[in-house]
Amino acid sequence: MRGGRHVAAVTDASFDLPAGQCLALVGESGCGKSVLASALLGLLPGNAQTAGRALLGGTDLLAADEKTLARTVRGRRIGLVPQSPAAHLTPVRTVGAHLGETLRELTGTRRSDLPRAVRAAAERAAFPADHLDRYPHELSGGLAQRAATALALVGDAPLLLADEPTTGLDRDLVHRTVDELRRHVDDGHALLMITHDLAAAERIADRVAVMYAGRIVELADADAFFTGPGPRHPYARGLLGALPERDFAPIPGMPPELGDLPVGCAFAARCPRVGEACTAQPQFTAGVACHHPSAEEPARA
């Protein structure tokens, strides 16, 4: 609820994410990507409502109570790289203290082994060892991001949710962070990576889900999406076309407010292929929700 109105922040999101795969969830700000991640962890505000199922092993995350999520899910079965890492760090504890406590709690590391284990955990996320004694307010945005990544990787959780894990990093550190996350995937873990950075998504993802106005409008194999035959949904094609190394052409207009969605296709007002059929909501069929998708169908995910 927002201002007394019901806002459908995420609608009909459906996908599977097996071990050893990365799914990149992409789309403009405000389309519902982070809300989806928060729902999986039970971190939505108190007035939020959820429906459906989100299965992790035998646990339905949407039906689990707070005790179950806190004691057996967060950190242990799902690791989180939050979108605003500094806000998730305790302001009166150093990065090293954060890592040490997490190592003791999740891995049972002995106190005598903590200094070495803390340095190893920091190195894994390219966090400099000489900054471990710093407090969150002393970190740049990029350092806070790397600290959050280090903490998320400690427990080797089977599922990692990374919400904009490359924000504030230069391109070299983006590559290093993404490559470490990819190693985590290749070791048999699942990764849901929420990102605006399509170059990072291309480097790491096995599949790509494109979200617009609270709905997944395309789900495709990453190789087919980024190289050929390319996306099928006009919005997804516009996202790629906006990249500097491609057409560098912005998508015209602005996305609609989630609390005031138009009837029919939410992308119709910005779409170069809009037609009479677009006054009805398109169904998600063969990996795309569009009345006028590209004629070429990418390989199945």
Q: Look at residue 162 and tell me if it is in a domain.
A: yes
Identify the domain containing residue 200 by its residue range: 22-226
User: Could you report the per-residue pLDDT of 221-241, keeping only the tens digit for each?
Assistant: 999 999 988 999 999 999 999
Q: Look at residue 45 and tell me if it is in a domain.
A: yes
Per-residue model confidence (pLDDT) at position 2: 58
Q: Look at residue 5 and tell me if it is in a domain.
A: no
User: Could you report the per-residue pLDDT of 253-297, keeping only the tens digit for each?
Assistant: 999 999 899 999 999 999 999 999 999 999 999 999 999 998 654
Per-residue model confidence (pLDDT) at position 297: 43
Q: Look at residue 120 and tell me if it is in a domain.
A: yes
Q: Which amino acid is at 206?
A: D
Q: Look at residue 233 and tell me if it is in a domain.
A: no
CA–CA gap between residue 149 and residue 123 (Å, rounded): 11
- Mean of the per-residue pLDDT values of the chain: 93
Q: Look at residue 259 and tell me if it is in a domain.
A: no
CATH of the domain at 40: 3.40.50.300
Q: Look at residue 182 and tell me if it is in a domain.
A: yes
Q: Look at residue 10 and tell me if it is in a domain.
A: no
Q: Which amino acid is at 208?
A: V
Residues of the chain short of pLDDT 50, as ranges, are 1, 297-301
Per-residue model confidence (pLDDT) at position 3: 59
Per-residue model confidence (pLDDT) at position 298: 40
Q: How many folded domains does the chain comprise?
A: 1
Per-residue model confidence (pLDDT) at position 299: 40
Per-residue model confidence (pLDDT) at position 296: 52
Share of the chain above pLDDT 90, in %: 84
